[in-house]
Structure 1
Amino acid sequence: MFPVERLRGRAMAGRFQAVSKHSNPLGNRVQPRGTGRYTFGLALSAGLAGLLYGYDTVSISGAIDFLQHRYHLSTMLQGLVISSIMIGGVVGAAMAGFLSDRFGRRRILLAGAAFFFVAALWSAFTFSPFDLIIARIVGGVGIGLATALAVTYITESAPTSIRGTLAFSFQLLAICGIFLTNVINYFIAENGSLFWNVEWGWRWMLGLGAVPAAVFFIAMLVVPESPRFLIQQGREDEGFQVLEHILGTTRAREQVEVIHESVVRERELNASFLDLFRPGLRKALGIGIFLAIGNQLVGMNAISYYGPTMFKHLGFGDNTEFLAASCVGGVELVFTVIGMYLIDAVGRKRLMAIGSALMAVFALLISYAYLIGDQTLTLVAVMLFTASFAFSMGPIPWIMIPELFPTFLRGRATGICTAFLLATNWAIGQFTPLMFERWGGRGTFFLFAICNLICLIGVITLVPETMDRMLEDIEYDWQPRTPMASARMALASAGAQIRWAEITLARVENERMQAMGVIEQAERERVRAHKQLFELENQAAALANAQETARLAEEERWHAERVAHTVNASIVEPKLHHTTRRSDDDSSTMEVDENMVDAATISIDVERLAEAEAALEILRKAKESSISQEADEPEQSAEDRAREDQAIDTVLDFLDKLIVNKKQ
């Protein structure tokens, strides 16, 4: 029986051969669903920018104490060494959006990786604090370019249902970078003397940043451009191919139509960069800037930058301050993973509100621990503060900022918000030493508690929920509600609907062509199947004939063996037991059934000729033996001997005839 599964497989493989000659921008292949490995690969490749960000955040915290010994830095210069990278970061982030709208997200991410790679090696070979500051500013440009666009790239590529989870990869890899760098700093400091660390240890801490930069650069070489950017640039075929791998053919077509409609509407509305500062999108920009500043003002980066120094002042010694910082990084990693599972289930807004409230409480607890001088309570409170940050205000602002803006402004608007984020980061890095010097840990974390309360109020009152919403749906929320804007929107929507109808007609025609190709291919497969079925039936019949021939040959062999056995029994046994076989039974045993011999004659096959000749030779020898024994058996009657001779002669004559006939 011809396997149906194989027929179906061939039909699917050749489904679109008949229509492949027709041009269709949406393609003729059908991919039922997206490829999860492909989608997660895109997210992780872009998310490696977070690894750069996390590495730099902590690598300088391990090196700053040794730099202080080497260059005798003042408090202000110490803050500038740490925060200088964010000066470059603000510049890079501000340029990232404009450059990415012109050259694409992927190329600018590659440029960011290259900047940071060069800066990491440069930092390791500097010989004055001012050289180091310049090198870090150059690295900051790379950080700004990468961090401003990494989450934008993920947001534009990810399916709506898991967009938050995939965008979380940026923060997850940032926390991995922080944790691994803390561990690396600890081992470098632990395995070298103070003199070696002051001369060389800090160089290794900073120079190893070239490794994640190289990995990020290689990863971005192999991934495609953002599909929304491609469609915005009129490269719909390429954008569709990327979306098809992510969503599957049907959903990719729908997504292409939605994005195309949005892009056309924006063009018909004469959308420009200045729209970002007009009613509607101005509110989105304000929310984005609020989230960017809140991400830094909550105080987590004060711990990331100065954690080892904080713990050392609390009484940790013999490099255990690095071990304590590593424990804090481990807690942040664990709760970042937890947040990754919660973000598309609980929601962005709710997680940020819960996290802000908890951070306000734990910041007050840290302030109290400083007041009473309890280092254990301080460490525990810092860990709880870090855990609250890791699933809320740490990753979610990075995720939500690109979600707020339309495609034609997303890169530039995200760049502006990231510039505010990095500028605030610079302020934290620059002024935290001064705050600790003047107010101590108690006053510093009391201020951070107030900032967290402000953040909580802003999240509740200003920030919208974007979970499970398409980017184009979120974009509609910011459209101005004036009569003129409504009329222009209606005009653009009408034109978009006409184009959508045209695209739908083209899709239906494409599906009709596909169906015709399926029918043609199936007909060819049906004919091929009938032919194969006929051949298989003939083979089955030939096999049955061969089996029947073998069975008949076996029966003929069996009959021939019975004949030989009967002849032997009729000749040899009477010779051995003639004294007990004088009765009429003796004569009946010696008789040969001529009918049986005739049946055997008819059935004997050519293959059994040799066996017949052997039987003839045995009978002749038996007769000669019988003649030689007559003299030894005088008691046997002449009648018995005559009967035996007659039986033997009869068998010999039949066998001679059989052999002659077969040879002829």
Structure 2
Amino acid sequence: MNNTLLLDEQPVRFNNAYIIGISFISALGGYLFGFDFAVISGALPFLRTEFALNAWWEGFLTGSLALGCIAGCIIAGSLADRYGRRPGLMLAAAIFALSSLGMAFSVSLSMFVVMRFAAGIGVGMASMLSPMYIAEISPASIRGRNVAINQLTIVIGILITNLVNYSLSDNGSEAWRWMFGLGTIPALFFLVGVIWLPESPRWLVKAGKDAQAQKVLGKIGSEGFVSGTLSDIEASLQGVKKQPFAAVFNKSVRPAVLLGITLAVFQQLCGINVVFNYTSTIFESVGADLDRQLFETVSIGVVNLIFTLVAMWQVDKLGRRPLMLFGSLGLSVLYVVLSFALQFQASAALVSLFVLLAIATYATSLAPVTWVLISEIFPNKIRGMASSVAIVSLWSAYFILVFTFPILAEKLGTYGPFYLYACICLLGFLFVKSKVKETKGQTLEELESTMVTH
């Protein structure tokens, strides 16, 4: 079904079915992200026994994915600007498939950590390239919703992985091998799907392939959309030569880059991924057995999915800024309450209530909107490199978060770190209120003129 929009008083039609189709295929990279992100939560109780993990090794094993993601983002940034978005997505899928098998057949802790690092390379590449690709092929009026599709596939990946983990939990001490090995299946689906994708029209114009870009844009929208978009892209790239990496920190683009880095770091240090990755640890601290711990991972996945759909519905209506403000302040309050519940050994049911409220708040706000903003705010000429810098910062913050939690929990009690996360969320609220501008409804080229200084 086509959608019609008036731009400059001329009707512009969009091929919504095609746009959503290629967005979903690209967003399968998010599914891989969700899989590797969630699988560790169900597998940790088995891995602790298998590899005799202490708090330090538990944190490092969990965080090794993030170290691989950092490497993956660096690789993807260079690939995306030199060869296009599509080849990078294909490589990410292949790496993920091979590393999933590697983790499943690991015979030592060192081998497992190396394979999880390799999986992180694939996840890091996809986490950068999927939302970037979707932003570049989406009309401005639906870009927020479409980029949020990537977050939707992440949470679907989390939910399905948690369900699989729960179903495998009674299959003996080797169940964790199946948990990781099954990741090969979605990776292969992703690889096949990416073969069908067109290249990003914005990258094609940048590479001097205007005719191919025009053909891709013609599948997305009508003639008015094609001519207008090509004109905007060419104007934004006029006189621009190949950019060195140092251009990311040029004074004219520095505000946008610093904003992207800060938002990326905040999305992780807000603390919610501790809940995703250490669900078993949190509920074990209030006396829940293994079955209840794994059941809670499924509950988290269901709530995460429902409220991600709410975010997709609202991100192009309410806008990015109101959702970010709601999420940061809401998490700050909920963490304080959750800390009290954990500290005074409340029932698992009450802890579950506050955990799920925190997940719902995050899924409606910081989770999808941060990715939307990162995909929007950088100029065309440095988008690949700047996105790489922002997402490297994100994964660095994720590593710090998940590495330190077991150590902090051992020293302070499971409740202790949540007081820290509450303070970080309050600071994040103040930052968003003072620094983040609304971006909904504007083309990438329009945003470029407002996000850079001259």
Q: Which amino acid is 2:356 matched to?
A: M
C-alpha distance in structure 2 between counterparts of 1:442 and 1:145, whole Å: 34
Provide, for residues 157-210 of structure 1, a one-character-per-residue CA deviation record: whole Å limited to 9, x for no partner.
0010000000001111101111111111111003x2xxx2x2x20000111111
Provide, for residues 499-528 of structure 1, a one-character-per-residue CA deviation record: whole Å limited to 9, x for no partner.
xxxxxxxxxxxxxxxxxxxxxxxxxxxxxx
Deviation of the 1:444 alpha carbon = 1.1
1:9 counterpart residue number:
none
1:445 counterpart residue number:
418
Aligned 8 A contact 2:284 2:293 in 1: yes
Aligned with 1:306 (options 278, 281, 287): 278
Determine helix, strand or coil for the equivalent of 2:240: helix
Provide, for residues 327-363 of structure 1, a one-character-per-residue CA deviation record: whole Å limited to 9, x for no partner.
1111111000000000000000110001111111111
Q: 1:165 to 1:306 in 2, by over 3 A?
A: same
Q: Which runs of 4+ in 1 moved over 4 A?
A: none
- 1:145 partnered with 2:125: yes
Deviation of the 1:265 alpha carbon = 4.0
Count of matched residue pairs = 443
Aligned with 1:412 (options 358, 371, 385): 385
Determine helix, strand or coil for the equivalent of 2:14: coil
C-alpha distance in structure 1 between counterparts of 2:385 and 2:290, whole Å: 47
Aligned 8 A contact 1:94 1:418 in 2: no
2:137 counterpart residue number:
157
Aligned with 2:294 (options 322, 337, 344): 322
Deviation of the 1:261 alpha carbon = 1.5
C-alpha distance in structure 2 between counterparts of 1:211 and 1:415, whole Å: 27
Aligned with 1:81 (options 61, 78, 97): 61
Determine helix, strand or coil for the equivalent of 1:33: strand
Deviation of the 1:408 alpha carbon = 1.7
Determine helix, strand or coil for the equivalent of 1:345: coil
Deviation of the 1:70 alpha carbon = 1.6
Aligned with 2:431 (options 452, 458, 479): 458
Deviation of the 1:271 alpha carbon = 5.6
Aligned with 2:375 (options 394, 397, 402): 402
Question: TM-score normalized by structure 1?
Answer: 0.65
1:176 counterpart residue number:
156
- 1:468 partnered with 2:441: yes
Deviation of the 1:313 alpha carbon = 2.5
C-alpha distance in structure 2 between counterparts of 1:342 and 1:264, whole Å: 35
Aligned with 1:118 (options 98, 103, 124): 98
Aligned with 2:329 (options 357, 369, 373): 357
Aligned 8 A contact 2:255 2:452 in 1: no
Deviation of the 1:477 alpha carbon = 2.1
C-alpha distance in structure 2 between counterparts of 1:380 and 1:450, whole Å: 21
Across the aligned residues of Structure 1 and Structure 2, the Cα RMSD in angstroms comes to 1.4
2:218 counterpart residue number:
244
1:385 counterpart residue number:
358
Q: Which amino acid is 2:342 matched to?
A: Y
2:398 counterpart residue number:
425
Determine helix, strand or coil for the equivalent of 1:34: strand
- 1:231 partnered with 2:231: no
C-alpha distance in structure 2 between counterparts of 1:472 and 1:323, whole Å: 46
Query: Per chain length, whose mean CA-contact separation is higher, i.e. which structure has more relative contact order (CA < 8 Å, sep 6+)?
Result: 2
Provide, for residues 512-548 of structure 1, a one-character-per-residue CA deviation record: whole Å limited to 9, x for no partner.
xxxxxxxxxxxxxxxxxxxxxxxxxxxxxxxxxxxxx
Aligned 8 A contact 2:285 2:414 in 1: no
C-alpha distance in structure 1 between counterparts of 2:445 and 2:22, whole Å: 21
C-alpha distance in structure 2 between counterparts of 1:161 and 1:351, whole Å: 18
Provide, for residues 420-473 of structure 1, a one-character-per-residue CA deviation record: whole Å limited to 9, x for no partner.
111111112211111111111321111110010011011111112111111111
Provide, for residues 480-502 of structure 1, a one-character-per-residue CA deviation record: whole Å limited to 9, x for no partner.
33xxxxxxxxxxxxxxxxxxxxx
Aligned with 2:307 (options 311, 335, 344): 335
C-alpha distance in structure 2 between counterparts of 1:382 and 1:203, whole Å: 28
Aligned 8 A contact 2:136 2:201 in 1: yes
Determine helix, strand or coil for the equivalent of 2:441: coil
In structure 2, the gaps of 5 or more residues are: 1-10
1:293 counterpart residue number:
265
2:181 counterpart residue number:
207
1:636 counterpart residue number:
none
Aligned 8 A contact 1:79 1:430 in 2: yes
C-alpha distance in structure 1 between counterparts of 2:451 and 2:239, whole Å: 14
Question: TM-score normalized by structure 2?
Answer: 0.95
Q: Which amino acid is 2:265 matched to?
A: I
Aligned 8 A contact 1:149 1:415 in 2: no
C-alpha distance in structure 2 between counterparts of 1:312 and 1:274, whole Å: 47
C-alpha distance in structure 2 between counterparts of 1:201 and 1:276, whole Å: 45
Deviation of the 1:33 alpha carbon = 2.6
Greater Rg, structure 1 or structure 2? Answer: 1
- What percent of counterpart residues are identical? 32
- 1:347 partnered with 2:327: no
Determine helix, strand or coil for the equivalent of 2:367: coil
Deviation of the 1:272 alpha carbon = 4.7
C-alpha distance in structure 2 between counterparts of 1:81 and 1:408, whole Å: 37
- 1:36 partnered with 2:16: yes
Determine helix, strand or coil for the equivalent of 1:324: helix
C-alpha distance in structure 2 between counterparts of 1:32 and 1:161, whole Å: 12
